[in-house]
């Protein structure tokens, strides 16, 4: 029975050795969790035993959980996003112009059906296709591929632009925001002043040590304490910034805001995410897969007195917020909405800053969903928007 389980783990690219497999069998024979019998042994007990003996690094826990579910709970693998798709399938030989009628008749699949159909295509397709409405390829109205049109598909390779993909199959790299960017527009300079005001809402005075020494010396050694208005107080900010994809259009403005925040807040912690926050965030975009910070650790590390500020355009597929596995980059086990609710519960003073023009918010379903999750605490990246957000956070 467990031989197939071992090969399931290996198929999931887990570094499981025969020696570790034999250790698991010895533990079962020794009765660590009882006989290997569904009626006498809890599946949860076996899960923890198997993970302890077979997985030597916690970074592999997610892969192990998925493989375990596939084998013991009958969960079907939706698609193997680690396998290569022949480059020839994705070579675009011409730019096909589609009529409005063809676009209107493009097949629209719901999430579960979309994932199931992709799994079937990977098993069935043997050659390149282009211009159709079914296979993985280029042009046409198929939900899989690139260079065509589909209201709700999976972009595989190629360049985006239509903003309609619910998942993206490619290795993506992002650039860190530059915190030395000079503030170049009048509105952002005014925002900096608002941020300064917010940062100085602590104690009125602090000890001026150099002036105290000078005054004491001039006063024949009698202590003469001098106080000055405090330059920075103890306001703490946790900044979570969306990066990549549609946020590329807002890089300059976000960098200007980031520069202002770095200059004004003494106690600042920042992390990046893409589109929506899931189970991990990161600090360095070039090393975002090697240096992950679990979101649970972020929640536990910082006290609730931190002001939580999200910066992002909230423009994505609604599935990315509401659906497990909805991330365009990987198979997230819990919906993004769950993580947003955990964060806002852990940090009661929070706000979302959106660089998208406020006039388009009503036309983006994902923005409406994020607004609901934020309890209406979404503000545009404008002078008034920042002023309103800072006023809310300072209460």
What rounded mean pLDDT belongs to the chain? 76
Q: For a pLDDT cut of 90, what percent of the chain falls above it?
A: 21
What was the pLDDT predicted at 308? 95
Task: Say if residue 327 is in the same domain as residue 380.
Answer: yes
Residue 68 and residue 100 share a domain = no
- Nearest alpha carbon to residue 235 among 259, 200, 194, 261: 200
168 near 154, Cβ under 8 Å? yes
Q: Can you spell out the DSSP letters for 298-360?
A: HHHHS-TTSEEEEE----S-THHHHSTT--SSS--SS-HHHHHHHHHHHSSSEEEEE-S-GGG
Residues 68 and 91 in one domain: no
Beta-bridge partners for 26: none
Percent of the chain with pLDDT over 70: 63
State how beta strands 378-380 and 236-242 pair: unpaired
CB 141 within 8 A of CB 102: yes
- Mark whether 209 and 233 lie in a shared domain: yes
In this structure, the answer to whether residues 198 and 132 fall within a common structural domain is no
CATH, residue 249: 3.40.50
Q: How confident is the model at residue 286 (pLDDT cuts 50, 70, 90)?
A: confident
Query: Who has greater pLDDT, 107 or 342?
Result: 342
pLDDT interval class at 196 (50, 70, 90):
low
The first and second tokens of residue 298, run together, are 């972020």
Task: Name the domain count of the chain.
Answer: 3
Let me know the angle formed at the C-alpha of 174 by 173 and 179, rounded to the nearest 5 degrees.
Answer: 155
- Summarised one tens digit per residue, pLDDT across range 52-82 is 888 888 778 878 887 887 777 654 444 454 4
Domain edge (last residue) among 139, 169, 199: 169
Q: Which residue has the higher pLDDT, 207 or 180?
A: 207
More confident residue, 94 or 99: 99
In a domain, 180, yes or no: no
Token pair recorded at residue 52:
């302890």
Cβ–Cβ < 8 Å for 346, 338: no
123 and 66 co-located in one domain: no
240 found inside a domain: yes
Question: Which residue reads 């004491």 in tokens?
Answer: 216
Angle between helices 186-199 and 383-393 (to 10 degrees): 10
Closest CA to 120 of 80, 70, 66, 67: 80
Position 263 pLDDT exceeds 80: no
Q: According to the model, what pLDDT value does residue 342 have? A: 95
In angstroms, the CA 230 to CA 204 distance is 6
Query: Where residue 227 falls among pLDDT bands split at 50, 70, 90?
Result: confident
Q: Which structural domain, as residue segments, surrounds residue 44? A: 2-72
Ramachandran angles phi, psi of 163, nearest 5°: 60, 30
- Residue 81, in any domain of the structure: no
- Judge if 50 and 110 occupy the same domain: no
Residues 307 and 259 placed together within one structural domain of the fold: yes
- Same domain assignment for residues 207 and 354: yes
Residue 179 lies in a domain: no
Rounded to whole angstroms, how far apart are CA atoms 151 and 104?
Answer: 9
Of 157-166, 217-226, 235-244, 292-301, which gets the smallest average pLDDT?
Answer: 157-166
48 and 138 share a domain? no
Looking at the structure, tell me whether residues 243 and 381 fall in a common domain. yes
From the CA atom positions of the chain, what is the Rg in Å?
A: 27
């Amino acid at each position: 029975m467990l031989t197939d389980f071992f090969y399931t783990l290996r198929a999931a690219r887990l570094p499981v050795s025969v020696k570790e497999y034999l250790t698991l069998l010895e533990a079962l024979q020794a009765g660590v969790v009882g006989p290997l019998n569904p009626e006498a042994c809890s599946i949860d007990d076996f899960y923890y035993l198997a993970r302890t003996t077979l997985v030597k690094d916690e970074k592999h826990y997610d892969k192990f959980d998925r493989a375990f579910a596939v084998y013991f709970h009958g969960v079907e693998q939706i698609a193997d996003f680690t396998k290569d798709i022949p480059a020839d399938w994705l070579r675009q030989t011409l730019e096909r112009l589609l009529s409005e009628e063809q676009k209107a008749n493009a097949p629209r699949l719901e999430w579960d059906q979309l994932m199931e159909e992709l799994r079937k295509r990977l098993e069935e397709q043997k050659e390149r296709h282009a211009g159709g409405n079914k296979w993985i390829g280029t042009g046409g109205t198929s939900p899989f591929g690139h260079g065509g049109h589909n209201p709700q598909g999976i972009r595989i390779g190629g360049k985006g632009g239509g903003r309609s993909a619910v998942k993206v199959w490619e290795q993506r790299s992002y650039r860190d925001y530059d915190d030395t960017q000079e503030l170049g527009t009048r509105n952002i300079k005014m925002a900096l002043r608002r941020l300064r005001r917010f940062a100085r809402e602590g104690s009125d005075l602090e000890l001026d040590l150099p002036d105290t020494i000078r005054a004491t010396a001039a006063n024949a050694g009698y202590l003469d304490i001098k106080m000055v208005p405090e330059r920075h107080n103890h306001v703490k900010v946790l900044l979570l910034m969306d990066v990549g994809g549609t946020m590329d259009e807002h890089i300059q403005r976000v960098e200007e805001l980031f520069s202002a925040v770095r200059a004004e807040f003494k106690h600042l912690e920042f992390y990046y995410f893409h589109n929506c926050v899931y189970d991990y965030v990161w600090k360095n975009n070039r090393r975002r897969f090697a240096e992950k910070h679990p979101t649970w650790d972020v929640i536990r590390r910082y006290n609730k007195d931190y002001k939580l500020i999200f910066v992002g355009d909230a423009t994505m597929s609604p599935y990315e917020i509401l659906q497990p596995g909805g991330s365009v980059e990987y198979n997230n086990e819990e919906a993004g909405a769950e993580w947003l609710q955990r964060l806002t519960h852990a940090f009661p003073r929070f706000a979302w800053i959106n660089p998208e023009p406020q006039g388009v918010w009503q036309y983006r379903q994902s923005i409406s969903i994020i607004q609901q999750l934020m309890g209406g605490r979404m503000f545009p990246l404008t002078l008034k928007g920042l002023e309103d957000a800072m006023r809310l956070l300072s209460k």
